[in-house]
Structure 1
């Protein structure tokens, strides 16, 4: 067993994880984060988001030297040119990433080694809501289904409990599963 095997689980540094938890327990204000995205419309359904800075752990973060750039587009059937994934597809990506990360993090905290993990997501949307053709139709996803393929070094019952815990503690899953106020204002 090499040094990395002894100090990490699921690719996470165990000591850093414990130090982070202890720091937040000792100074609860360190847990407050503010993430930011900036978006600029290009044409039609194409627009681009830039993500670089955020506030967290009591300070502005300056570790990112360049912004992450994301192009939102639409397929031709939705009047676009496949410039990029569309926003509701990015939502599936964000949900998959957050559920995966949350599951891996809490597995590591419980000493469970994940050997394989992949997800498949699909969601159903009725365009009557988006287009304003039927005010009785919600303009967002009606349902999202996540299929998890997980191999872990624990009994099935423990894995099922971990999956439910990850669902309850994933910030993106929690945001999608409950009403969240969104304020739109001109600046």
Structure 2
């Protein structure tokens, strides 16, 4: 597992500097050209092993698998665990971004995301249930010197601006295609 270390002795100062620089650069870029905010992300997945997938995203690579009970080798987290991980990670980023912007001290953050999934649709046993999560719960544990009301207000701001939470909370048009070699 990759361990992230601060690039300076003072992580809070380093984080604040990075957040300021990113906000300033993106703000200027968007002010100069509104279309600069439109981003397209791409990942590529290649099947490996029984049902695993090697994902390439920019200069990064990781594996997604299933547990043995779902025909996998349990070599990595499952696709739905990565989806929940994406919510958790995005919440951490957006909490830090807006805590800094709003001047709300955020000493610690831990996000737990869990989802309920009925596998009956996956296995073709019940076409009346969703194949994906029927419910997702996100619990955020924070510490800092601000009031509980300030952290609740921060959560509301984060919920309104978190891209991955939006993917789960609102319909997103998806198209699929297949090509045969």
Do the aligned partners of residues 16 and 186 (structure 1) sit closer, same or farther apart at CA in structure 2, a change above 3 Å counting? closer
Superimposed CA distance per residue, residues 58-99 of structure 1 (whole angstroms, 9 cap, x where no aligned partner): xxxxxxxxx211111111111211121110000011110011
CA distance in 1, matches of 2:102, 2:162: 16
Q: Secondary structure at the match of 1:123?
A: strand
* 1:128 lines up with 2:120 in the alignment: yes
The match for 2:29 is 23
Q: Is the strand fraction higher in 1 or 2?
A: 1
The match for 2:4 is none
Judge conservation of contact 2:19–2:97 (CA < 8 Å) in 1: no
- Any stretches of 5+ residues in structure 2 without a counterpart? 1-9
The match for 2:157 is 165
Judge conservation of contact 1:12–1:108 (CA < 8 Å) in 2: no
The match for 2:111 is 119
CA distance in 1, matches of 2:33, 2:118: 45
Q: Secondary structure at the match of 1:34?
A: coil
CA distance in 2, matches of 1:139, 1:13: 38
Q: Secondary structure at the match of 1:35?
A: coil
Superimposed CA distance per residue, residues 24-45 of structure 1 (whole angstroms, 9 cap, x where no aligned partner): 1232111111111011111321
TM-score (norm. length: structure 2): 0.86
Q: Secondary structure at the match of 1:119?
A: strand
Give the deviation of 1:116 after TM superposition.
0.7
Superimposed CA distance per residue, residues 93-144 of structure 1 (whole angstroms, 9 cap, x where no aligned partner): 1110011101110111112221010111211111011112111110001111
Q: Give runs of aligned pairs for residues 13-162 of structure 1, distance below 5 A.
A: 13-52=19-58, 67-162=59-154
TM-score (norm. length: structure 1): 0.83
Give the deviation of 1:186 after TM superposition.
2.1
Judge conservation of contact 1:120–1:146 (CA < 8 Å) in 2: yes
Higher relative contact order (CA 8 A, sep 6+): 1
Do the aligned partners of residues 90 and 15 (structure 1) sit closer, same or farther apart at CA in structure 2, a change above 3 Å counting? closer
